[in-house]
A and B are shown apart, each in its own frame.
Chain A
Amino acid sequence: MLPEALARLVEQLSRLPTVGPKTAQRLALHVLRMPEEEVRQLAQALVEAKAKVRPCSVCFHLTDTDPCPICTNPGRDPSVLCVVEDSRDVLAIERAREFRGRYHVLGGAISPLDGVGPEDLRIRELLERLRGGQIREVIVATNPRVEGDATALYLARLIRPLGIRVTRLAHGLPVGGDLEYADEVTLARALEGRRDL
């Protein structure tokens, strides 16, 4: 039998994604062993993150300043827009340190079996940004899955008539991977997208 306060902590932790009852109990017991100051910092971080972090009103990436630092950075190219499904994708592309344009976070991908259609994504907001006239290229960086492909096709159909270049991230073999283990669809796309040496 757990003390009531501890049971409440376990119960709250087990609501988190991927945390089952066992992991929740382990985490709760770890929290009890932590120095009080660290526990206070953890609690404060939780409350503060919830209170301060909002989607940016321009690109919808998560931020604690509005507009976000990427949207307001004068060093970033305002003529290239990278469209992603989720804020996590912004973080992934930023880690690559290759892209110097700006972003637009859709908030998901078209997924008919889950009842997610174009009107559930931030596509209207994207088109409004594009009508501003500053953007020359839209890079569609939705995930290379059926849902991401459908979203890319749908966006291309809407954006092309505006006279803006629409590109899609290349599909191919992962760096450091083995050709032997590549699946047929990826290999076929890698062949299609081959480049001159």
Chain B
Amino acid sequence: MAVYKAEGVVLGRRALGEADRVVDLFTREFGRLRVKVKAVRRTTSRLAGRLEPFTHARLLLARGRALDVVAQVEVLDGYADLREDLRRLSYGWLVADLTLQLVPEAEPHPEVFALLVEALQLLREGDPVVAAGWYALRLFGELGYRPASGRCPSCGGEAGGDRWSPALGGFCCPRCSEADPGHLRLGGEAAGATRFLLQASAQEAGRLRLSERATGRVVAAVVAYAEARADRPLRAAKVLQALDR
């Protein structure tokens, strides 16, 4: 049987049949992959604890008929500490959902993989809300959806204010924003933070300190933007509102 190796992060999974699971991975080499793990829901499985969401691992995969099958897993970082903090965990799910909704399957994106690993580190060490906001904004850029920040994407006019239009594609001018009923007023702090995070490194993002109100607005802005690009709601964002109180 043909086997191959990959380094990946587990994004999510769902049950398949009696005791199997389908696992969503984001790999450095092959991009987003859906793979099968056999008998992983049994307590005797040696793989179960190694394929929990957010685990960063080296995997050995075997070519399968419909889905490739996980043969071996070596954990590089289990991010077990994310699981002890509901807030970090909640924003971790948002990061996973953004990746699942926006990145097409089986397209290699090594630069997105690097972003994802940096985002997990930031989720663990820094403000998880900033971490998720930073990841989303940088992800948009890597996938060719970089939000406009200086010039209005609709008319090319000055867009230096706080008007954010997910439909038009980022910060826009006052006149064009009036034409979009879905536009958001982010306020000065959140607008500044959004522009900063668009070009910030993970280290720079980790040093950013924001008021709770502004972080909330940055997240609302990126979620609306992602939903406009994916053309469907982010489920993790809906649950986030209930968890992050």
Contacts and interface: CB of A to CB of B under 8 A. Distances in A.
Nearest to A171: B49
A115 B86 contact: no
Interface string B73-95: 00100101001111001100110
A185 interface: yes
B53 A146 contact: yes
Given A117-B238, A184-B78, 8 more contacts: A112-B238, A115-B238, A149-B84, A149-B89, A181-B46, A184-B49, A184-B75, A185-B50
A118 interface: yes
A116 to B, nearest CB: 7
Interface of B is mostly: helix
Contacts of A182: 49
Interface in B9-32: 12, 14, 17-18
Nearest to B20: A18
A184 B50 CA distance: 7
A153 B92 CA distance: 15
B96 A117 contact: no
A24 to B, nearest CB: 14
B239 interface: yes
A112 B132 CA distance: 15
Interface residues of B, number: 35
B14 A119 contact: no
Contact of A113 (B50, B80, B86, B100): B100
B46 A183 contact: yes
Interface string B41-78: 00110111110111000000000000000000001001
Contacts of B83: 146, 149-150
B155 interface: no
Contacts of B86: 150, 153-154, 157
B1 interface: no
Interface residues of A, number: 27
B243 A118 contact: yes
Contact of B236 (A18, A112, A153, A181): A112
B2 interface: no
Contact of B243 (A18, A110, A149, A177): A110
Among A113, A183, A185, the one with the most B-chain Cβ atoms within 10 Å of its Cβ is: A113
A114 interface: yes
A161 to B, nearest CB: 13
A118 B242 CA distance: 7
Interface of A: 18, 110, 112-119, 145-146, 149-150, 153-154, 157, 174, 177, 181-186, 188-189
B118 interface: no
B240 A112 contact: yes
A161 B46 CA distance: 38
Given A117-B243, A174-B44, A185-B80, A112 B49 contact: no
Given A146-B54, A183-B48, A184-B50, A112 B239 contact: yes
3 residue pairs, one from A and one from B, having the closest CB atoms: A183-B49, A117-B239, A112-B236
B235 A113 contact: yes
Contacts of B235: 112-115
A185 B243 contact: no
B227 interface: no
Contacts of A117: 238-239, 242-243
B149 to A, nearest CB: 29
Contacts of B243: 110, 112, 117-118, 150, 154
Interface string B225-245: 000000000011011101100
A186 B18 CA distance: 23
